[in-house]
Homo-oligomer: A and B are copies of this chain.
Amino acid sequence: MHLALDPVAQDLLFREARTANTFTDEPVTDEQMRAIHDLVKYGPTAFNQNPLRITLVRSPEARERLVRHLAEGNRAKTAAAPLVAVLSADNEFHEELPALLPHFPQAKDLFFGERPARESAAALNAALQAAYFIIGVRAAGLAAGPMTGLDFEGLRKEFLDDDHTPLMVVNIGRPGPDAWFPRSPRLEYEQVVTTV
Contact = CB atoms under 8 A, between A and B. Distances in A.
A2 B17 contact: no
Contact of A141 (B3, B12, B14, B41): B3
Contacts of A181: 103
Contact of A195 (B15, B19, B56): B56
A13 interface: yes
B44 A196 contact: no
Contacts of A101: 184
A167 B124 contact: yes
Contact of A184 (B19, B48, B193): B48
A119 to B, nearest CB: 12
A100 B139 CA distance: 26
A114 interface: no
Given A2-B32, A14-B39, A127-B127, A53 B196 contact: no
Which 8 interchain pairs have the tightest Cβ spacing? Answer: A4-B141, A131-B131, A127-B127, A2-B35, A5-B139, A9-B9, A41-B186, A128-B131
25 contacts: A3-B35, A4-B141, A5-B139, A5-B140, A6-B8, A10-B139, A14-B43, A38-B189, A44-B146, A46-B148, A48-B184, A48-B186, A50-B187, A54-B194, A55-B196, A56-B193, A58-B195, A96-B187, A96-B191, A102-B184, A124-B148, A127-B127, A131-B132, A131-B135, A132-B135
